[in-house]
Structure 1
Amino acid sequence: MASEDVKRTSDSAVSTIVNLAEEAKLASEGVKAPTSHALLSIAKSLVAGGVAGGVSRTAVAPLERLKILLQVQNPHSIKYNGTIQGLKYIWRTEGFRGLFKGNGTNCARIVPNSAVKFFSYDEASKGILWFYRQQTGNEDAQLTPLLRLGAGACAGIIAMSATYPMDMVRGRLTVQTDMSPQQYRGIYHALTTVFREEGPRALYRGWLPSVIGVVPYVGLNFAVYESLKDWLIKSRPFGLVQDSELSVTTRLACGAAAGTVGQTVAYPLDVIRRRMQMVGWKDAASVVVGDGKNRASLEYTGMVDAFRKTVRHEGFGALYKGLVPNSVKVVPSIAIAFVTYEVVKDVLGVEMRISD
């Protein structure tokens, strides 16, 4: 009898150990497989978004540089009078390479910016959706355009904050010319020089207007794009929608409209951000506000002071300097980014909405 009890106990112990081992194995496989799949999916998405962003930004780099030059040029020494004249002037004075000055820095920040943005948007969407379901008591509730606006704004703020020093030195590399006494030799040299000569806070100069500007820009981008898509799908005007799917051309039009609305609303903040970034750089010959005897007019005590001095010295229109080349580049930039993203997505097997 005792022998049978011992045998049963032994069998039970062996069975328990085997079951625990199997459960541990299954649990391990159950955790690792989805995690590996999720990480691979995130990596693919970031590669697709990074390539698309780099290609689209490079294609419109001349317009991007001209926009920044128009934003910060001295109103008493006008060099750039418009898009065509400005591009011709850069070509004549700096050559072909001058049209793409600062683009390397711009592209270099696309990958980390996209990485943080995609990850932050995904996590913010999950958190906002969970909170929304808890508040409404509806476990089947989905994200509304307003909630997407909030998630997009959070992602934009986090991504912009994480890569802001790169954007700051990009602005300076873009503005500097061959006549500048001091030359930044590249991204690393610009970062270390600004850090050493102006302090770590200088790398985040203009951060506040950037944060404020990201909210309407990214938020409106999501809200307008999604609202237009919903309206087109529901109303089906002009036969644009077939089988509840929008054509590539229609999606591009929605994206262009969303980008135009967002950047127009947030553009004054972008101008102020760019001017604040130039503060402290004595060799920025084209960013002085006022004549040569009054260089101090460029010194801003904050975002409000920058707004006030810009409007007082140059008028309200100065807040929209460079808007035309910026608007001109919106449509081709979105179009090229979309096509490139679709190609890379198909190659890598990534499934993601263009609005993401």
Structure 2
Amino acid sequence: MASEDVVGKTSATIANIAEEAKIASEGVKAPSRLALLGICKSLAAGGIAGGVSRTAVAPLERLKILLQVQNPHAIKYNGTIQGLKYIWRTEGLRGMFKGNGTNCARIVPNSAVKFFSYEEASKGILWLYKQQPGNEDAELTPLLRLGAGACAGIIAMSATYPMDLVRGRLTVQTDKSPSQYRGIAHALKTVLREEGPRALYKGWLPSVIGVVPYVGLNFAVYESLKDWLVKTRPFGLTEGTDLSVTTKLACGAAAGTVGQTVAYPLDVIRRRMQMVGWKDAASVVTAGGKSGGLEYTGMVDAFRKTVRYEGFRALYKGLVPNSVKVVPSIAIAFVTYEVVKDVLHVEMRISD
């Protein structure tokens, strides 16, 4: 009997241990699944925001690139309105949205990674800041948000840069180009075959340098403006109510204007460097304003030759359509991101 009692107690103990292990395991798995679901929802919200905002301004995006790279001695696009009319007259509706599929294929993952990276970088930077004595109750400051935005921009840009290069070339080519890229995959394969793997990252350095102030300022200005409006409630804003969509759009517009003005010259240089080595880029600008193969040897050389042959103003070619594009694009992206996160029931906000 004694041995049966021992066996019974041992069996009961083993059963209890197994039950506790099962409960503990389920307790670990549930939060992990919830965390993974939250990450997927956040990435989806960022991707949707990028796709919606970029499609809304696709014609202006194409015109901006055409203005950036056109030959100054064979000008076809002479301003925003004239340029859009010319594209419509010569290429029709499809011409207005040429390259947008490639653009969205790049911007959707880029935007998803950018927003998610910003949230994670914000949490990490704030945690490190709080470890310093006297900062235990600190909140995100504009400078910390700038740093988090810079980190997010670098990560997102590096992850999706080959798509940006291909998008630029697809956007620039016309029906009269000697050779045609037939789509994203064909363009990637052609660049790899004819120019090598390194060609997929031409212009990466000015892109990364430019993305630090651009994305950093976008997030810092947008979040800081929202934070200021919530705390001070100027312009008759009611205490205790959420900011309206219109107010958030205004914050996004201000953020886009500041960011793109600071970083725009680097965007021009990046776009020109991306055309280097493309033997069929005869319709775009070259070093010295000559048609044919581009001759920039690096970022500094591209800056120097652009200013020498075309003047300082050349660094801001396409700024007007870009400004008209960036203001609504950034605003729509931020607001869409927050709206989609509301719809998907994701509790965390960028500011949190």
Q: TM-score, normalised by structure 2?
A: 0.91
* Contact 2:206-2:269 within 8 A present in 1 as well: yes
2:316 partner letter: Y
* Contact 1:76-1:290 within 8 A present in 2 as well: no
2:193 pairs, out of 184, 196, 218, with 196
CA separation in 2, counterparts of 1:248 and 1:171? Answer: 32
* Contact 1:91-1:98 within 8 A present in 2 as well: yes
1:330 partner letter: V
Percent identity reads: 85
2:64 pairs, out of 60, 63, 67, with 67
* Contact 1:75-1:289 within 8 A present in 2 as well: no
CA separation in 1, counterparts of 2:227 and 2:117? Answer: 24
**Greater mean alpha carbon deviation, residues 226-235 or residues 258-267:** 226-235
What's the CA shift for 1:222? Answer: 1.7
1:272 partner letter: I
CA separation in 1, counterparts of 2:333 and 2:120? Answer: 24
| Aligned CA distance change for structure 1 residues 122 and 315 (closer, same or farther; 3 Å) | same
2:113 pairs, out of 90, 96, 116, with 116
What's the CA shift for 1:57? Answer: 1.0
Question: How does 1:122-271 map onto structure 2 within 5 Å?
Answer: 122-136=119-133, 138-243=135-240, 245-271=242-268
| Aligned CA distance change for structure 1 residues 129 and 12 (closer, same or farther; 3 Å) | farther
Secondary structure in 1 matching 2:235: helix
What's the CA shift for 1:212? Answer: 0.5
| Aligned CA distance change for structure 1 residues 346 and 226 (closer, same or farther; 3 Å) | closer
What's the CA shift for 1:110? Answer: 2.4
Question: How does 1:86-105 map onto structure 2 within 5 Å?
Answer: 86-105=83-102
| Aligned CA distance change for structure 1 residues 223 and 123 (closer, same or farther; 3 Å) | closer
CA separation in 1, counterparts of 2:122 and 2:288? Answer: 49
**Greater mean alpha carbon deviation, residues 302-311 or residues 141-150:** 141-150
1:187 partner letter: I
2:181 partner letter: Y
Secondary structure in 2 matching 1:237: coil
What's the CA shift for 1:355? Answer: 6.8
**Equivalent position of 1:274 in the other structure:** 271
What's the CA shift for 1:292? Answer: 7.7
CA offsets 1:192-212 (integer angstroms, 9 cap, x no match):
100110000000000000101
| Aligned CA distance change for structure 1 residues 68 and 354 (closer, same or farther; 3 Å) | farther
CA separation in 1, counterparts of 2:151 and 2:327? Answer: 25
Q: CA RMSD in A?
A: 2.4
* Contact 1:133-1:141 within 8 A present in 2 as well: yes
Does residue 1:312 correspond to 2:303, yes or no? no
1:258 partner letter: A
**Greater mean alpha carbon deviation, residues 111-120 or residues 193-202:** 111-120
Secondary structure in 2 matching 1:143: coil
* Contact 1:338-1:354 within 8 A present in 2 as well: no
* Contact 1:68-1:175 within 8 A present in 2 as well: yes
